[in-house]
Amino acid sequence: MKGKRILVWFKTNLRLLDNEALVAACEKASAVFPVYIIDDRMFQTQALGFPKTGAFRTRFLLESLHDLQSSLRQHEAGLLVFRGRPEEIIPRLALELKVSAVYAEREVTDEELRIQNQVEQRCEAKGIAMRLFWQHTLYHLEDIPWPIQHLPDTFTHFRKEAEQEAIIRPALPIPVSIPFTNEIGSEAIPTLQQLGFSEPEQDPRAAIHFHGGESQALARMKEYIWEKDRLKIYKETRNELLGADYSSKFSPWLSLGCISPKTIYEEVRRYERERVKNDSTYWLIFELMWRDYFRFAAKKYGNRIFQLNGLGKKNMTLKEDRDTFEQWRQGETNIPFIDANMKELLHSGFMSNRGRQNVASVLVKDLKINWTWGAAWFESQLIDYDPTSNWLNWAYVAGVGNDPREDRYFNTESQVRKYDPHGHYMDHWLATNKA
């Protein structure tokens, strides 16, 4: 029924393609107001001495917002940006704009859920409905073949049954028109400096300069899959460490929802039809299913994913030794493979999956440091930080997550022999070492 006015609250769905909340709003309303709130709590310094969201990740977010704003403008709409607390601003704006509903992405993790719940309560108290959309995963929550409390505890079980029994819904097109009217002023998207950061130096050793936004995400997908034709060898190269193309590097854009996994899925299927279908093309989907699994597992386990004992299989006794942690964080453990990876993270905001597994394992299993500290550093530093993928991967490596093997251990020496036998990766990040 047209005539309605709807506020669409963008969070980690910073895109126009396959954005169900936006599509539904445009179908139902004659006035749609896209809004993003920059929440200062995201940038505050934490007890461990670094910000919750560091400079690399913040820059990527700001770039993504600029890109969304310009795409919306191309569609004769706009993005209303405000700085403050969403639970205060969204209900206030909803009243001011006289909307009947707020549409937003549905959250699963604690901090995001608390804010979502407060927005919902305050809106509903004023007679404004809130409608939530599940839109971060490949499979829809309603389509997986279990109630969430019965989600299998191992990925393999999840994957096999989901592949057999669940469908992947088609990605939605960009709405034909976005009925925006410019009724209230918006703040400007802040600069990195206004959020308290200086511009991070562009390290020449970083293989890829990630630039946030849906257009960049689509460009990377085209480049990796079609132009460079790397998808057909993904399974063979994905454990490498050096260069732009050993893996897709889609993760930063997926994390902020600049691209949806369904869009990637459809592109892989098209590549399979038009070019080649093999183990590698399957494997990219397989990895996206890991991402789904962690999202669903977070919904099942709630706050346990952030706690030292994780999913609760055993009691962890780990040290809280700040000096050792700082050495690890700065890439100064004197274990060259670990230091090279930690320098890459420090100076570029990215690290390969192989690197992440190794540095996490060393922190927990060798240095015996509280793994939640490591996860907190990744949260600050990783451009692709995603709460469920990060914390559940950490819990997995720490031995308190969804790993069916309890004693998994990454022996650094044998990992180096296998993945960096000539030391090229270590040389790359350590030979021209920065202070």
The count of residues interacting with ligand FAD (CB under 6 A) is 29
d(CA 204, CA 198): 18
370 is a site residue for ligand FAD (CB under 6 A): no
Residues 6+ apart with CB under 8 A from 322: none
Of 131-139, 155-163, 376-384, 424-432: span binding ligand FAD (CB under 6 A): 376-384
344 is a site residue for ligand FAD (CB under 6 A): no
CB nearer to ligand FAD: pick between 34 and 401: 401
CB nearer to ligand FAD: pick between 63 and 292: 292
251 is a site residue for ligand FAD (CB under 6 A): yes
CB nearer to ligand FAD: pick between 56 and 250: 250
100 is a site residue for ligand FAD (CB under 6 A): no
d(CA 204, CA 202): 6
378 is a site residue for ligand FAD (CB under 6 A): yes
238 is a site residue for ligand FAD (CB under 6 A): yes
CB nearer to ligand FAD: pick between 69 and 381: 381
Task: Count other Cβ atoms within 10 Å, centred on residue 205.
Answer: 16
Strands (E), 217-363: none
255 is a site residue for ligand FAD (CB under 6 A): yes
d(CA 316, CA 434): 35
390 is a site residue for ligand FAD (CB under 6 A): yes
Binding pattern for the stretch 197-236 against ligand FAD, x by CB under 6 A and - elsewhere: ----------------------------------------
The full length of the chain comes to 435
Shortest reach from residue 392's CB to ligand FAD, in Å: 8
3-state secondary structure of 340: helix
* End-to-end CA, the chain: 61
Q: Looking at 21, 256, 338, 360, which residue binds ligand FAD (CB under 6 A)? A: 360
CB nearer to ligand FAD: pick between 77 and 351: 351
- In this structure, are residues 44 and 58 in contact, taking their beta carbons and an 8 Å threshold? no
d(CA 103, CA 133): 8
Residues 6+ apart with CB under 8 A from 80: 33, 34, 35, 36, 93, 184, 186
Q: Looking at 158, 385, 425, 429, which residue binds ligand FAD (CB under 6 A)? A: 385
d(CA 306, CA 111): 11
- In this structure, are residues 25 and 6 in contact, taking their beta carbons and an 8 Å threshold? yes
Q: Looking at 115, 284, 297, 340, which residue binds ligand FAD (CB under 6 A)? A: 284
- In this structure, are residues 158 and 293 in contact, taking their beta carbons and an 8 Å threshold? yes
Residue 290 tokens, joined? 């890991």
Shortest reach from residue 248's CB to ligand FAD, in Å: 3
Query: Site residues (CB under 6 A) for ligand FAD?
Result: 238, 247-251, 254-255, 284, 287-288, 290-291, 294, 352-353, 356-357, 360, 378, 382, 384-386, 389-390, 393-394, 397
